[in-house]
Structure 1
Amino acid sequence: MYIENPNIKLSDTDSTIVWKYLDLSKFLDMLLSEKLFMSRSDKFEDQYEGTFSEPTFEEIKKIAENNPKFLDYYKSHREKVVISSWHANEYESFAMWQIFTKNNEGLAIQSTIGRVKEALQPENHFEQFIGEVNYIDYKKDFIPFDDTFFPFLFKRKSFQYEKEIRIISDVSQNNVIIDNGLKINVDINSLIEKIYIHPKSENWYKKLVIELVEKLGFDFTIEKSDLESEILI
């Protein structure tokens, strides 16, 4: 269930369009299970995920001199935070297709922040928060640590192109042991507004996606990628 946290910045409105780019197997798993996968924060490719900038780390080390458990907590906490990443953009992103799909196959889910909030189900055993990622210089900028979610809402400036919105949960109090991540209940029809098929995919693949969605009983609008438009001379 979505909970608003006053400490977590989300300047975008509920009408802001967000995207998730993924391969067909992950998409089908989402439809069949009606669950959204959230990755354990320390399993992301970015090794800085959930860590602090240098100025913040120096401040934390001072505190930890008299309280060693303080630093240990932040180190282990990464294993208890799970994240689902979304890309905020009014339009499709060529870069996101390149990064998150392979072999000219894949899909993009188009949603909005409001739809994502609505889709998160109350029967989930822990709370979900939504926040935007701040992109900073990890050598110079300070990351606040008065909220335990803050380390997971900052990334290096090199990742600015991601324009990331995150669904984020802390399972520390739920006695949950997670491996690579976990799945949470979602209302699929609320979550998904449209589906876009990879712009370079072949016709057989497009037909396969359409048939699979229909056979599973969903009636999402399935769009041809804007990047696939024919050149007009």
Structure 2
Amino acid sequence: MEKMTNGFTTELRRMEFENHGVCVACGYKFKKGDTANLGYDNSDAPLYVCDKCTRLLKEPTIKRYYSPRPYDVPTPQCKLWRYMDFTKYVSLLSSRGLYFTRTDCFEDTFEGAKGLRKNKEKWDAHYFDFFCSAIKNPPEGNKCELSEKEVEQLANKLLSDLESGGEAHKKRVFVSCWHESEHESEAMWRLYSSFLANAVAVRTTYKSLYSALGRDPSISIGRVRYIDLKKEYAGVNDAFWRKRKSFEHEREVRALIMDFECKDMGKVVPCNLDVLIEEVFVSPKAPDWLIGLVNDVNEKYGIKVKVSTSELSEVPFFKELLGAKIFRDRPLFLIEEFLLLEQ
């Protein structure tokens, strides 16, 4: 195999992102610690392969140890919902982009946290041992010449850097939150639109969200995992994909991007709205004229999409219960026929 060129292009990053964990040549499923190889074949097509298939690489580009994602990727047709008030919807259309909130601006003070403060010593001990082991056992070809005391000092320094960088990291991570469900959620209307009469919900799918964001491999999209912080903690790379069990009802799928330059409380990421928005629903509390207004705004910004009333605003019907007065003094055969009909 030829020498690595290290030309890690967007094309290769996308190849790795979309096929993460599976060799595109033989279908081998990577295990943690396996080597993943990226590059180009004889026809200049990008490849993401295991060690056994590196013979297919005419131009090896980069080699890295495989590590599982800290989140699960939804199925392509998984339905995602974003609930918002009408003004935010207009902002979405006018900016032609999705707003990503900086994570230190969320109301949840545990956003990006590793665990409960009372359990911090246990977390510190785990990573102190990890750092000591890593320092004493460097990669092949290297030798650790540090004393035991120097190893512990360096491990403590790394641990301190992790802690000081944790809070700062929240200012570099930006998130767009979505709710995963096959149906509308009454709870989400209440939580994220305050059940306002002028609220709307945008429905899309994972595939549409990913495509609308330009299949950008720098934007991670996946399910949040809800954990019991009394019993466990989030790993170094997991924190922004973990939330407390008390938020489990949100069934959140988030799009996450890192930006070391943006100092604002959020950022707008360009998005193809024609691909993103599959249907718009208006609030169950909405007056009849809101649908017309949403359609007018869509037309103004060139968005052709179906606008529907909320399923929660459907009108029920009622009948008297069996045994009520409508069956009094009625022939027995009529009651028997009704019972057969209900079976």
TM-score by structure 2 length? 0.62
Equivalent residues of 1:48, 1:155 under 8 A apart? yes
Structure 2 residue aligned with 1:58:
121
Cα offset for 1:70? 2.2
SS of alignment partner, residue 51 of structure 1? coil
- Indicate how the Cα distance of structure 1 residues 207 and 171 shifts in structure 2: closer, same or farther if over 3 A, else same: same
Query: Per-residue displacement from partner, 1:133-185 (whole Å, max 9, x unpaired)?
Result: 1111112113222x2xx10111111101100001001113xxx1322111101
Equivalent residues of 2:73, 2:221 under 8 A apart? no
SS of alignment partner, residue 217 of structure 1? coil
Identify which of 171, 174, 182 aligns with 2:267. Answer: 182
Query: Per-residue displacement from partner, 1:203-229 (whole Å, max 9, x unpaired)?
Result: 122221121112222111111111011
Cα offset for 1:60? 4.7
Structure 1 residue aligned with 2:304:
219
Equivalent residues of 1:192, 1:220 under 8 A apart? yes
Amino acid at match of 2:188: M
Cα offset for 1:61? 3.1
Structure 2 residue aligned with 1:49:
111
Identify which of 92, 95, 114 aligns with 2:184. Answer: 92
In 2, the alpha carbon distance for the partners of 1:169 and 1:59 equals 30
Structure 2 residue aligned with 1:141:
232
Structure 2 residue aligned with 1:154:
242
In 1, the alpha carbon distance for the partners of 2:162 and 2:235 equals 15
Q: How many pairs were matched up? A: 225
Larger RCO, structures 1/2 (Cα 8 Å, 6+ apart): 1
In 2, the alpha carbon distance for the partners of 1:168 and 1:211 equals 32
Structure 1 residue aligned with 2:48:
none
In 2, the alpha carbon distance for the partners of 1:114 and 1:39 equals 22
Within-5 A mapping of 1:18-167? 18-54=80-116, 57-62=120-125, 63=128, 65-67=156-158, 68-102=160-194, 103-121=196-214, 127-145=218-236, 147=237, 150-167=238-255
Amino acid at match of 2:225: N
SS of alignment partner, residue 143 of structure 1? coil
- Indicate how the Cα distance of structure 1 residues 180 and 110 shifts in structure 2: closer, same or farther if over 3 A, else same: same
In 1, the alpha carbon distance for the partners of 2:297 and 2:218 equals 32
TM-score by structure 1 length? 0.89
Cα offset for 1:59? 4.7
SS of alignment partner, residue 65 of structure 1? helix
In 2, the alpha carbon distance for the partners of 1:59 and 1:127 equals 33
- Indicate how the Cα distance of structure 1 residues 56 and 9 shifts in structure 2: closer, same or farther if over 3 A, else same: farther
Amino acid at match of 2:253: I
SS of alignment partner, residue 170 of structure 2? helix
User: Root-mean-square deviation (CA), in Å?
Assistant: 2.1
Equivalent residues of 2:279, 2:308 under 8 A apart? yes
Amino acid at match of 1:111: T
Cα offset for 1:12? 2.4
- Indicate how the Cα distance of structure 1 residues 182 and 56 shifts in structure 2: closer, same or farther if over 3 A, else same: farther
In 1, the alpha carbon distance for the partners of 2:234 and 2:308 equals 40
- Indicate how the Cα distance of structure 1 residues 170 and 58 shifts in structure 2: closer, same or farther if over 3 A, else same: farther
SS of alignment partner, residue 174 of structure 2? strand
Equivalent residues of 1:61, 1:71 under 8 A apart? no
Equivalent residues of 1:20, 1:109 under 8 A apart? yes
Amino acid at match of 1:58: E
Cα offset for 1:11? 4.6
Equivalent residues of 2:123, 2:233 under 8 A apart? no
Query: Per-residue displacement from partner, 1:64-90 (whole Å, max 9, x unpaired)?
Result: 733322211112111100000000000
